[in-house]
Amino acid sequence: MRKVVLFIMLLMGLSAAAQQQQISYVKNDGNWYHVYDTNGKKITTFAKQSYGEVVGWSSEIIVTKSGAWYKILDPQGKTLKTMSEQTLGMPPSYRASFPLFIGISATL
User: d(Cα 22, Cα 39) in Å, to the nearest integer?
Assistant: 9
* pTM of the predicted model as reported, rounded to 2 decimal places: 0.65
Neighbouring C-alpha atoms within 13 Å toward the C-beta of 65: 15
State the architecture of 21-95 in CATH terms.
Answer: Beta Barrel (2.40)
User: d(Cα 48, Cα 31) in Å, to the nearest integer?
Assistant: 5
Bridge-based pairing state of the strands 69-73 and 79-84: antiparallel
User: pLDDT for 8-59, tens place per residue?
Assistant: 555 555 555 555 589 999 999 999 999 999 899 999 999 999 999 999 999 8
Domain ranges in the chain are: 21-95
